[in-house]
Copies of this chain bind each other. A is one copy, B any other.
């Protein structure tokens, strides 16, 4: 579905051509065209392929979807896949943006996501001195906008981790802790798979080695995106590391708690075993058991039993078993 299609010259909007007029603008000097599609079907993709002379393999990838994030060069043009991540009902939902960048055009296709990029276009049109730099700047602005949307995701995951951490030393919450940690780990994995390959790909655009033509002169900007991705990536790694430790701690806490329950069990079992053994002894049927005849034998026996139990209770208490 076409969202919009605008031609720019020297940083200024000059027209909103229809799809079939695209090829007219692509060849004009100092002009570039920026097309935004949403959940494009194969007919639209074929049209775009013809208008912009896109490479067959790139179009195939865009059509299949579910690609790993990447930035690939096909001759003078660039094909990039970036994942869009949203939190929907506390689950991570993964969408995808496919971007084709040539000297005179930018084509962005958004799939399976509710997030739009109208803000990016507005920003670009506002900053005319940068928009003059051409399609490379638009490419940067798109990546920058998507990467900035990763930060709240990281924050949400960190908040969730902190909530679990607060309960990690609580008794009785081991089961729910471990379930939540496991779910969180899965979410972090999703984010990691969006960030890590993109970090590598953007690393190649930020200079050091050869930089694709469409992105030259933009290296400082891509380094900024690279730096943001690096921060996200290291936060993600820190969360993963903490989850692993928290799981281990959780197991320790369960074992410690079990040990404490065992001690209590042992203590109470001991107290009642003594009471039962004593009662059993005075329940024996020997004929000659003088204490049985005593007037205050019974209360004395009860006292003896209570006393033995009491002494045990006090000792267990002192040694921390109860």
Footprint of B on A, CB under 8 Å? 55, 57, 61, 67-68, 70, 72, 74, 168-169, 172, 174-175, 178-179, 182, 185-186, 189, 193, 197, 220-221, 223-224, 227, 230-231, 234, 238, 241-242, 245-259, 261-266, 268-270, 272-277, 279-289, 291-298, 301-302, 305, 320
Contact (Cβ within 8 A) A285 B285: yes
A256 contacts which of B67, B178, B247, B248 (Cβ < 8 Å)?
Answer: B178
Residues of B within 8 A of A186 (CB): 242
The CA-CA distance from A259 to B287 in the complex, in Å, is 44
The CA-CA distance from A264 to B262 in the complex, in Å, is 11
Residues of B within 8 A of A254 (CB): 252, 255-256, 259
Contact (Cβ within 8 A) B275 A227: no
- Distance between A143 CB and nearest chain B CB, rounded to angstroms: 14
The CA-CA distance from A197 to B231 in the complex, in Å, is 10
Residues of B within 8 A of A249 (CB): 178, 182, 247
Contact (Cβ within 8 A) B247 A248: yes
- Distance between A231 CB and nearest chain B CB, rounded to angstroms: 5
The CA-CA distance from A220 to B78 in the complex, in Å, is 12
The CA-CA distance from A292 to B277 in the complex, in Å, is 18
**Interchain Cβ contacts under 8 Å between A and B, 18 examples:** A57-B220, A61-B227, A193-B238, A247-B248, A248-B251, A250-B252, A251-B255, A255-B255, A255-B258, A265-B269, A268-B269, A275-B281, A279-B280, A283-B285, A286-B292, A286-B294, A286-B298, A287-B293
A285 contacts which of B257, B265, B289, B302 (Cβ < 8 Å)?
Answer: B289
Residues of B within 8 A of A67 (CB): 227, 231
Question: Contacts A258-B262, A298-B284 hold; do A220 and B279 have CB atoms under 8 A apart?
Answer: no
